[in-house]
Homo-oligomer: A and B are copies of this chain.
Amino acid sequence: MSARTRSEERRAEIVRAALEVIAERGYRGASLAAVAERVGLTQQGLLHHFPTKEALLVAVLEERDQWDAVPDTQWRVDLLTSLVDYNAMRPGIIQTFSALLGESVTEGHPAREYFTERYTGVRRTMARALRAQYGDRLPNGLTPERTAPLLVAVMDGLQYQWLLDPESVDMAAAFRDFLRLLGEPVH
């Protein structure tokens, strides 16, 4: 293996370890020290690959985006209900996403670019999927481009309410209610 490939392998191994630590101990428990220990590196060795906790967490979220990705041509709005159901079963990564999203809106935060670009891409993908399914207008009269930011907003906003109070907020049922507002036939 070339040095470059070895370094990429190592990075991938660290990201997987971080995901495990997040799932077991949550966002706060996912310290660089805990991740370093799991992959048998010193903290100094880990910092060589990821200079900050934020950089490592962004890498984890980028990796999740890869795993969650559906080819643009295959994308359908009703797949989102499956995604929200699935998210309700993995609070660790959703907590990490939500905490980092919160921090990212502050000045000069290292995750700001990731989230800004992610949202631009997600809004575009959703608008395309809505257009393929409904044409220029949804049953409720909105255009796909005006519906996309609302879809994203509801998913993110419900995650906060659910993470804070999982007994009171049924994230999956609430998201289905929203899709019904859009005119989707939902089961």
Contact = CB atoms under 8 A, between A and B. Distances in A.
Interface of A: 26-29, 95, 98-108, 112, 115-116, 119-120, 123, 140-142, 146-147, 149-150, 152-158, 160-161, 163-165, 168-169, 173-174, 177-178, 180-182
Contacts of A168: 120
Number of copies: 2
B28 A104 contact: no
Nearest to A105: B163
A160 B116 contact: no
A29 B164 CA distance: 27
A164 B99 contact: no
A99 B103 contact: yes
Given A152-B157, A164-B112, A181-B181, A103 B103 contact: yes
